[in-house]
Amino acid sequence: MRKRALVVGLGIAGMSAASGLRRAGWAPVIIERAAERRTGGYFINLTPEGMRAVDDLGLDTLHTRNPERGTTWSLNRRGHRRPALGWLDLPGRPTAMVRGDVEAALWQRIRPDVGSGESGVEVRFSTAPVEIVGDGTVVEVELEDVSTGRRSRESFDLVVGADGLRSTVRSLAFGPHERFMTPWNATICAFPLPGQAPSFGAQDSLISARSGGAVWVFGLADRAPTALLAYCTKEVGAQFTGDRTERLRDVSADMDHPAVRHVLDALPTTTDCLFDSVHQVKMDRWSTGRVLLAGDAAWCLNLFSGMGTTAALRGGAELGRALAEHPDDLPAALAAWEARLRPFITKHQRMARLKHQWFVPTNRALTGVRTLVLHLAVNARRAVTEARLLRAAAPAASGVRRGAASP
């Protein structure tokens, strides 16, 4: 009989893990607390490592949205704009999309169309774990239908907790959240916009950043942009009381640009919004017995890293590879999986501190450093572009001169 794995969470990490498990010959079952699958979402990107994981997982239907035209603009409070470097200008040239694009491709992979000849992964909505007990040979899980309160028990060969930053699996199998979640004294709000800010191109990206707060608009191909608001605060708990929009208006008051007002005016009408505090998850190990954590539940890099989706996809691909290499030795497979991923995760958790200052500088001195570095980078890019144009024009000009001298 095929080995059964319970995957908790129908997000990118969960569906990636399920895809990797199935490719290794396992029979995964996914449970999801929500009543239905999410669609849409905010801007995300995939690095070259993420795109390799896409290939490893066989995601043939991934829709990408790199803007074919458009400029990234830095805005100041006087309403002036100047060219800037955006997220897609990072080394390696990340690939742009929204969260729902990756989830749709993963869903198609684990739930193929009727008539394709492939069997799909079993998915149960409105279901959550309430108890996990393992004896080394099997894992007994008590499951609850959250819509009715009914409970049942099932046995699995492996449990994968891919249920996000505040993972239920982690709290049941490893301990309370406080042991693993490192606060960053910051809050984020990400959501899709109904349309671009007035006076900007449809695929333009916008950045308004000052000490302790920032507003980003990510321009995309073939859809409206998405927005990210980020700000620093030591009173994280207080951010989730009262009216969310009014609080964000207050913290953005000194960024009184028309484009910022456009973003804030769109917030009350959105039905698809991430509003949360910023943390990283740090753990000495990502598995215990036959219970494994993946994605944000295991290593949350946080949104400032820009590597969350890449890490989640790579986690699923590497899990499938490790299980295939050690089909009869689960401890060896999980050890190999973690050994491959740990250096990558550690590196990008550290780099997130630097990227945090790009997204939202934490004080005036760092705001000044950020402005200077970006100004120099923009000038350097402009010089490189001009040099390429001159080199391209040189052969043509030389040919004209030679032609003029011919009899």
Say which amino acid occupies 280. Q
Q: Is residue 229 in a domain?
A: no
Q: Please choose, from the candidates 10, 32, 7, the residue with its C-alpha nearest in 3D space to the C-alpha of residue 146.
A: 32
Say which amino acid occupies 192. P
Give the pLDDT confidence of 256-281 residue by residue, as tens digits. 889 999 999 999 999 899 999 999 99
| Average pLDDT over every residue of 195-208 | 95
Q: Is residue 206 in a domain?
A: no
What pLDDT does 299 receive? Answer: 98
Question: pTM of the full predicted structure?
Answer: 0.90
The band of 224, judged by pLDDT with boundaries at 50, 70 and 90, is: very high
CA angle 10, 15, 16 (to 5 degrees): 145
CATH of residue 154: 3.50.50.60
Give dist(CA 280, CA 297) in Å, integer: 10
Give the pLDDT confidence of 210-219 residue by residue, as tens digits. 899 999 999 9
What pLDDT does 403 receive? Answer: 54
Give the pLDDT confidence of 82-139 residue by residue, as tens digits. 888 888 888 888 999 999 999 999 999 998 865 566 779 999 999 999 999 998 899 9
What pLDDT does 351 receive? Answer: 95
Q: If you average pLDDT over every residue of the chain, what do you get?
A: 91
Total tally of structural domains belonging to the chain: 1
Give the pLDDT confidence of 54-82 residue by residue, as tens digits. 999 999 999 999 998 899 999 987 778 98
Structure tokens at 303: 């949104």
Q: Is residue 71 in a domain?
A: no
Q: Is residue 271 in a domain?
A: no
State how beta strands 274-281 and 139-145 pair. Answer: unpaired
Q: Is pLDDT of 407 > 50?
A: no
Give the pLDDT confidence of 321-372 residue by residue, as tens digits. 999 999 999 999 999 999 999 999 999 999 999 999 988 988 777 777 777 6
Q: Is residue 162 in a domain?
A: yes
Structure tokens at 368: 């000044």
Q: Is residue 305 in a domain?
A: yes
In the chain, what are the helix, strand and coil shares in percent, each to the nearest 5?
40, 25, 35
What pLDDT does 328 receive? Answer: 95
Higher pLDDT, 376 or 403: 376
What pLDDT does 370 receive? Answer: 72
Coil, strand or helix at 27? strand
Q: Is residue 48 in a domain?
A: yes
Q: Is residue 373 in a domain?
A: no
Spatial strand order of the sheet with 139-145 comes to 127-134, 139-145, 151-156
The band of 406, judged by pLDDT with boundaries at 50, 70 and 90, is: very low
Tell me if 13 sits within 8 A of 281, measured CB to CB: no
Give the pLDDT confidence of 368-386 residue by residue, as tens digits. 777 767 666 666 666 665 5
- Please give the residue range of the domain that contains residue 139: 4-65+99-182+280-359
